Chains A and B, each alone.
Chain A
Amino acid sequence: MKVSINWLKKYVDIEESPEALASDLTMFGLNVEGVEDLGADYSGVVFGKVVECGKHPAADKLSVCKVDVGGAKLLDIVCGAPNVRVGLSVAVAVDGAVLKDGFKIKKTKLRGEPSEGMICSETELGIGTDSGGIMELDLELDAGADLSGLLGDDDVILDIEVTPNRPDQLSHLGIAREIAALYKRKLREPETFALEPEEVYGIDIEDPEDCPRFSAAFIDNVTIVPSPEWMQKLLLSAGVKPISNIVDVTNFVLMELGQPLHAYDRDRLAGESIGVRRGHDNETIITLDETERKIDPDVLVIKDQDGSVGIAGIMGGADTEVSDKTTRILLESAAFGPRTIRRSSQSLKLDTEASYRFERGSDVSGTVKALERACWLIREIKAGIPETACRDFVAKPEAVEKTKITLRIAQANRLMGTHLDGDDLSSLLERLALDCEVSEDEVIVIVPGFRRDLKEEVDIIEEVARLYGYENIGREEYLRGNVFSKISTVDKRNEEVRSFLASRGFAEVITSSFMNMEDPDRMGWSESDFRSRPIRLENPLSVQQSAMRTSLIPGMLRVISRNAPAEQEGIRIFEMGKVFLPVNGGESLPDEQVHLTAMLSRTAVPAQWIDQSREVDYFDMKGELEYLLDRCAVRSELQIQRNKEEEPAYIYNWLTKGKIIAISGVIPSSVLKNYEIESPVHFFTAIMDVMHGAGFEEPRYSRLSPYPQVKRDLCVVAQERVTFADIRRVIEKRAKFLESIRLFDYYQGEALGEGRRSYTFSLGFRSRDNTLDDGAVDKVIQKVLNSLQRELQVTLRRME
């Protein structure tokens, strides 16, 4: 909301500098986002008349003009506006003028032609948004007349952020009321012309919820001319373009009181009644902006006897618009249902100053007052003669009743941490024009119509806190409740896993939660795969971000792809984040699982003077995953699936108690191609929720044995169908005294014969009770060999 300080001064004394006022208002809850000094911007802007206008010899789009600015000589000005022509009255910024944003006007040459000033557009002057051409002035002044008075008059504009709960602040009087409360000053209400409600006109409201109140005043002997300079000035400084006396009065009251008004040419309204109803399907209406608009039942319209004449609370119709020929006016001042106007505005995709205020809730009790103010102004500026009789129809009587709110003194103090008594509270609240009745424990607050945002006790407490000053609320009453911090083990362990991977040389990445609907295809997921049927957004930013990810992999592949040009020798990245698995066909909230995915690509070890670089392989990733699982105290079994038909050739599932805890493998080259990645990518994904359920056992202490360890090597030969895991399982099960086991050699090749592999283990044995002698260890080894032979047909390798 842009407010003019000059305008505010009509209702409240302001001695503070604009900067001080802005900072005080900000601390009072009216966040001032900008302070703009208008006067300074317009010095050097004068009234001018275009006397000659011809084509620029060197540029099609430019015109060369001679402009009369009252001096002895006409100014040469090169102008690029399409609407420049002879006879136009314009605002000219002459040499030395400073426009918005400090833009300085100097004599110059444009494409070879001299230019001694600039003919200004609305945007260049900062008073409007029309930058399509120069501003055409409807005024007749002496050439050279200083326009800075008209445009600026040393006014300062505050740009105030008005929160949606405070429609009363969308007006100068509303802001002035806050300033009066802030500085404990008197508020001067604007002068009015008293109106008498009588049944002088028919009003028909279809639904009181849509329109709780409809008031109308009648003006005769209207003459449409421009409004007086003082009114134009104030409107301009509030960012409203002056049009004509009657329209300017309605806009003035809108900006002054916050009540939208609409003026109808009474002679163009059919019949002696007006009403409000929902639109009909297939109905259309041409609005003031000469746009034809389709109406539907979400849209609220104003009707006369013949049909709809305007869109209620948003914009009037062109047919009944005030024109030069208008002599009689019906002035509408109504209250419309906020939700209705919001739906209506969304359905039409049309917001206006009026709809903005109605959506937030207008002052239902203030409709007649706004008419009285408009009539006073119309009389004052001699735009017409108001009739004393007006029409006021209250469709919803409870909407105009004053409300009372009980404020418990103890509750106010409890919530704020203060020690205020009833009188303290009421004297604070009365500054905001809230009448109070104080009793021993309570203050009854009477809420005026313009503060309908005050609905319950806590709303009043907020006002008290604001008036008392947040900065004055102390901390001496500070209490600590009996609350202690519980450690979230899940969070702590997730963070530990992150740190662990980071120190293993992985870069943590954080990618978008969205996925591209092309990802399933690119990833080669089948249509029936749950990952191909993610939660979709109704209103995505783009196709690439139209669904919730079901896997971390596509996003991470994009990271690899994007970083490919960077001179990165090896890629090690991980992400821990949520994936969203659809539940109930997407009708319920999804299952949000935390996944951990790590990827390795290109070199495993950076090339350096002392070591050769080496490409990443399957065992690099497997080692990382095994180390991680061990770190998290997860025991798991590897299930290997051979995939004969398609890539990848192998899929590795890591199971714990029958549940998949992790999967690993290599990204198929066809997928890599889709993501424009050239080097193989190895990955694993661990499902953190399963990890938390299956692992992270607390460490256990066991007594250390004082006796020495005995080492033995064991070399065995197995058939192809037997795996390392099978052999290790048998050894671990059978080997008494076993303390450590490590595979230190593996061989397959001709020497062993087709389909045979040899494994060499280094085993460590130790007893808690004595030093193991050879005989005891030999016995254990023999037992292990017997079991390996019996269960797996694995034999001791004969040394030749």
Chain B
Amino acid sequence: MNNKGIDRQTLEELEQTAVRELGEASDIGAIEELRVKYLGRKGSLTLSLRSIGSLPAGERPAMGNLINEIKGKLSGIYSARLEEISANIGDPEPFPGDHALPGRVFSQGGLHVLTRVTRDIKEIFFRMGYSLAEGPDVELDYYNFEALNFPEDHPSRDSQDTFYVNRDILLRTQTSPVQVRYMEKNDPPLRIISPGRVYRNETPDPSHAAEFHQIEGLYVDRNVSLADLRNDVTFFIHSFFGPDVKVRFRPHFFPFTEPSAEVDMECFGCRGEGCSICQKTGWIEIMGAGMVHPNVFKYAGYDPDSVTGFAFGMGIDRIAMLKYGIDDIRRFLANDIRFLGQFWSGSWAGVQD
């Protein structure tokens, strides 16, 4: 072992060189290299410290102190330089032009308004404890009519102009067939909603479409009553349209519920005073509802004496039209990009007036 390397003078020269080199280093890589060279496990100072043992015992403490002193000094310089250099990293040249230029633009996209409204409706019912159920669009006459207590050859079928595939198969005219399908496969208690597309053989006009969307609700348990129906439906309307909206239930007729009701909410256009939106009545019809008819329970294999339930159904397109003031139901499936874009963000607000 060469003990020349650890005399005082050599150490001082080493110190001077290291300080100079650290000062000159301009990037993190170089600084790191110097750290390894001088301060690392195999660095000069560490090696010097190790070779102290070869010195006479009397010189060892003084030399040790010196080495540690240099080491501390270099460590300090190293840290300071590292910080200095790091602080300068990634600080690019400022852009020399107009800083108000627009940022990079990406393709715009977004969800269809019906998807948005359906989600909002589902979300409220999920919070209330409803689960999701789905059924087919192409349906058996049995589920769409017979099991829902629509007698064959009965005028109650007239209100729903039906597309037929053949004698037994049709396009569902309502989401209600899901009720019986679900009850056949599940035991009570149950509480479901079922959104989906429905079909009516109607000549389209601004308020009628051959294809539109409904959401069905069903709650069956041992003692479900009309009071529960009023509570859930009102809860929904208040959650969706606001807590101050007045809601009323009018007796009505549906073959698959009894008692049945149509649910109106106070017109938001005029707050009940009467305007063109509500055709001067002050009320807007929002859904049909009622207590599940015992015959429907029988078709589903439930005992009408042991359970009761309610069902309701509403048009998603209609609710979207009400919510956003859309004037023509045919807009939804026409997919004009100028229409779709209005429901994505503020920059698609349409033509300026």
Contacts and interface: CB of A to CB of B under 8 A. Distances in A.
10 contacts: A31-B262, A163-B156, A164-B158, A165-B255, A416-B226, A416-B259, A457-B294, A462-B260, A483-B221, A508-B111
Nearest to A590: B138
A488 B132 contact: yes
A379 B136 CA distance: 61
Contacts of B258: 458-459, 461-462
A153 to B, nearest CB: 25
Contacts of B129: 480, 483-485
Nearest to A476: B227
Interface of B: 101-102, 104-112, 114-115, 119, 122, 126-132, 134, 136-140, 152-156, 158-159, 163-166, 169, 171, 189-191, 197, 199, 201, 203-204, 210-211, 219, 221-228, 230-231, 248-253, 255, 258-262, 291, 293-294, 305, 308, 332-338, 340-341, 344
A605 B108 CA distance: 10
A244 to B, nearest CB: 31
Interface of A: 26-29, 31, 163-166, 338-339, 342-343, 359-360, 411, 414-418, 456-459, 461-462, 465-466, 470-471, 473-488, 491, 495, 498-499, 501-514, 535-541, 545, 548, 559, 562-563, 566, 568, 570, 572-573, 578, 580, 586-587, 589-590, 592, 605-606, 608-611
A758 B334 CA distance: 48
A482 B189 contact: yes
A480 B155 CA distance: 37
Nearest to A28: B251
B129 to A, nearest CB: 5
Contact of B249 (A411, A470, A495, A506): A470
Contacts of A580: 137-138
Contacts of B251: 27-29, 462, 465-466, 470
Contacts, number: 250
Contacts of A511: 333, 335
B36 to A, nearest CB: 15
A342 B153 contact: yes
A471 B247 CA distance: 10
Contact of A502 (B110, B156, B204, B255): B110
A513 B131 CA distance: 26
Nearest to A467: B251
A275 B15 CA distance: 131
Contacts of B111: 498-499, 502, 508
A463 B258 CA distance: 9
B109 A501 contact: yes
Contacts of B109: 501-508, 572
Contact of A29 (B114, B252, B294): B252
A488 B261 CA distance: 30
A537 B163 contact: yes
B163 to A, nearest CB: 5
A560 B98 CA distance: 37
Contacts of B334: 562
A319 B165 CA distance: 42
A31 B250 contact: yes
A183 to B, nearest CB: 16
Nearest to A586: B165
A424 to B, nearest CB: 16
Residue from the set B112, B171, B259 with the largest chain A CB neighbour count within 10 Å: B259
Contacts of A360: 155
Contacts of B108: 505, 507
B210 A545 contact: yes
Nearest to A470: B249
A678 B104 CA distance: 28
B253 A163 contact: yes
A501 B112 CA distance: 12
A52 B255 CA distance: 60
A508 B115 contact: yes
A536 to B, nearest CB: 7
B250 A26 contact: yes
A507 B345 CA distance: 12
Residue from the set A29, A466, A474, A485 with the largest chain B CB neighbour count within 10 Å: A485
A525 B226 CA distance: 54
A509 B106 contact: no
A216 B259 CA distance: 38
Residue from the set A31, A474, A507, A590 with the largest chain B CB neighbour count within 10 Å: A507
Contacts of A506: 107, 109
B250 to A, nearest CB: 6
B164 A578 contact: no
Contact of B228 (A417, A459, A499, A611): A417
A474 B139 contact: no
A377 to B, nearest CB: 29
A458 B333 contact: no
A452 B45 CA distance: 110
Contacts of B156: 163-165
Residue from the set B226, B260, B294 with the largest chain A CB neighbour count within 10 Å: B226
A459 B228 CA distance: 19
